[in-house]
Chains A and B, each alone.
Chain A
Amino acid sequence: MTYHCPASSAFASPRLTVAVACASFILGACTSNPTDPAGSDLVVIEAFLFAGEPVTEIRVTQTIPLSSADQTPVPINDAVVRLVRDNITYDLVATGTDGYYEDPGNIQVNVGDRFRIEVSYQGTVASGETTVPPPPSGMALSSGIVYAPAFGGGRGRQRGGPGLNDPEQELGVTWSNPDRLLHFVVVESLDDTAEPIVPDQIRDRIGTRFRFVSTPTDDDAATINAVTLEFLGDHRVRLYRVNAEYAQLYENRTQDSRDLNEPPSNIVNGLGVFSAFASDSAFFTVLRR
Chain B
Amino acid sequence: MRGCTRRALLAGALLLSGTLAVRVATAQQRRTIQGVVRDETSGETLPYARVAVMGTRVTTSTNTDGYFALLGLPNSAITVRVTYLGYAPLDTTIAPAADDLLIIEMTRLPIELDPLVVAESYRMIDIADGVSHLTASPRDLALLPSIGETDIFRSLQLLPGISGTNESSSGLFIRGGTPDQNLVLLDGMTVYHVDHFFGFFSAFNADAIKDVQVYKGGYPAQYGGRVAGVVELTGRTGDQNQLRAGVAGNLLSASAAMEIPLGGRGSILISGRRSYTDIIRSSVYQDIFDMFTGAEEPATAGPFAGRGGGGGGARGGQFANAQFATVQPDFYFYDLNGKITFRPSGRDVLSLSVYNGQDFLDESRVLNRELTFGTLPSRQQASDLTEFTDWGNHGVSGKWARQWNSRLYSNGLVAYSTYFSDFTRRTSLEVRDSQTDSILTSRSFGSVEDNRVGDLTLRLDNEWDVARGHKIMFGTWFTRSDVTYTFTRDDTTTILDRDQEATRAEAYVQDAWQIAAPLSLTIGARVSHYDQTDRYYVEPRFSLVYALTNRVRIKGAVGKYHQFVNRVVNENVTEGARDFWLLADGDLVDVQSSRHYVVGASYETGGLLLDAELYRQEFEGLNEFSLRFQRNRTVEPVNLFFAGSGVARGLELLAQRKLGRFTGWLSYTLAEVEHEFPGLNNGEPFPALQDQTHELKAVGSLNLGRWNLSATWALGSGRPYTAPESEYTIELLDGTQQSYIHVGEKNGLRLPAYHRLDLAAHYRLRIGNVDADFGLSVFNLYNRRNVWYRQFDLSESPVLITDVTYLGRTPNISIRFSY
Question: Interface of A with B (CB < 8 Å)?
Answer: 2-8, 11, 14, 17-18, 21-22, 24-25, 30, 33-42, 44, 46, 48, 59, 61-69, 71, 73, 159-161, 164, 180, 182, 184, 186, 205-208, 211-218, 240, 247-264, 271-273, 277
Contacts and interface: CB of A to CB of B under 8 A. Distances in A.
Given A64-B728, A180-B634, A254-B574, A160 B723 contact: no
A203 B315 CA distance: 31
B729 interface: yes
Interface in B683-742: 685, 687, 689, 691, 693-694, 717-718, 721-736, 738-742
Nearest to A180: B634
Nearest to A212: B734
A182 B311 contact: no
A264 B741 CA distance: 10
A194 B341 CA distance: 89
A34 to B, nearest CB: 6
Interface stretch (B78-86, B538-546, B794-802): B794-802
B733 A248 contact: no
Interface string B618-650: 000000001011011110000000000001011
Interface string B673-685: 0100000100001
Contact of A40 (B433, B736, B742, B752): B742
5 tightest A-B CB contacts, nearest first: A257-B790, A63-B726, A206-B374, A2-B718, A37-B723
Nearest to A74: B728
A111 to B, nearest CB: 18
A2 B734 contact: no
A257 B734 CA distance: 31
A8 to B, nearest CB: 7
Given A44-B728, A208-B373, 9 more contacts: A33-B718, A35-B752, A40-B725, A61-B728, A255-B724, A256-B313, A256-B791, A257-B721, A260-B722
B724 A260 contact: yes
Contact of B734 (A37, A161, A206, A214): A214
Interface stretch (B513-521, B743-751, B763-771): B743-751
A11 B616 contact: yes
B750 A2 contact: yes
Contact of A255 (B634, B733, B792): B792
Given A24-B670, A180-B634, A255 B789 contact: no
Contacts of B753: 2
A66 B649 contact: no
Contacts of B614: 17-18, 21
Interface string B777-793: 00000000000011110
Contacts of A2: 693, 717-718, 750-753
Given A261-B571, A263-B743, A63 B311 contact: no
Contact of A258 (B577, B647, B650): B577
Given A2-B718, A37-B724, A67 B798 contact: yes
Contacts of A159: 433, 436
Given A34-B750, A69-B797, A249 B789 contact: no
Contact of B798 (A69, A180, A216, A262): A69
Interface centre among A63, A64, A206, A262 (most CB of B within 10 A): A262
6 contacts: A18-B599, A66-B726, A255-B573, A255-B794, A259-B577, A260-B724
B564 to A, nearest CB: 27
Contact of B743 (A44, A216, A260): A260
Nearest to B574: A254
A211 B313 contact: no
Contact of A3 (B650, B680, B694, B743): B694
A61 B737 CA distance: 14
A205 B374 contact: yes
B11 interface: no
A214 B790 CA distance: 34
Given A11-B649, A257-B791, A272 B728 contact: yes
Given A5-B672, A161-B373, A262-B742, A64 B727 contact: yes
Interface string B592-627: 000001010000000000000010100000000010
A39 B616 CA distance: 35
The number of chain B residues touching the other chain, given as a range, is: 35 or more
B651 interface: yes
Interface centre among B629, B647, B742 (most CB of A within 10 A): B742
Contact of B649 (A17, A35, A67, A180): A17
Contact of B730 (A38, A46, A64, A262): A46
B433 to A, nearest CB: 8
Contacts of A3: 693-694, 717
A249 B732 contact: yes
Given A206-B373, A264-B629, A258 B721 contact: yes
A252 B574 contact: yes
Contacts of B616: 11, 14, 17
B633 A218 contact: yes
Contact of A42 (B741, B742, B794): B742
B731 A46 contact: yes
Interface in B342-398: 373-376
A180 B636 CA distance: 13
Given A46-B731, A254-B574, A257-B790, A39 B651 contact: no
Nearest to B738: A249
B94 interface: no
Contact of A260 (B375, B723, B730, B797): B723
A21 B739 CA distance: 45
Contacts of B691: 4
B310 interface: yes
A39 B750 contact: no
A137 B373 CA distance: 39
A40 B649 contact: no
Interface centre among B436, B728, B736 (most CB of A within 10 A): B728
A65 to B, nearest CB: 5
Contact of A261 (B647, B726, B743, B751): B743
Interface string B549-581: 000000000000000000000011110010000
Contacts of B724: 37, 66, 255, 260
A251 B374 contact: no
Contacts of A41: 726
A251 B616 CA distance: 39
B743 A255 contact: yes
B743 A249 contact: no
Given A5-B693, A263-B740, A73 B633 contact: no
A161 B573 contact: no
Contacts of B792: 255-257, 260
A9 B647 CA distance: 11
A218 to B, nearest CB: 6
Nearest to A11: B649
B719 to A, nearest CB: 9
A186 B727 contact: no
B651 A21 contact: yes
Contacts of B725: 37-40, 63, 65-66
A254 B793 CA distance: 9
A25 B721 CA distance: 24
B440 interface: yes
Given A2-B750, A35-B718, A64-B726, A213 B573 contact: no
Given A17-B649, A66-B799, A263-B741, A213 B734 contact: yes
Contacts of B717: 2-4
B597 A4 contact: no
Given A21-B670, A258-B721, A215 B728 contact: no
A63 B749 contact: no
A4 B694 CA distance: 8
A53 B311 CA distance: 48
Contacts of B632: 215-217, 247, 250
Given A40-B744, A250-B632, A25 B670 contact: yes
Contact of A35 (B313, B731, B751): B751
A91 B799 CA distance: 38
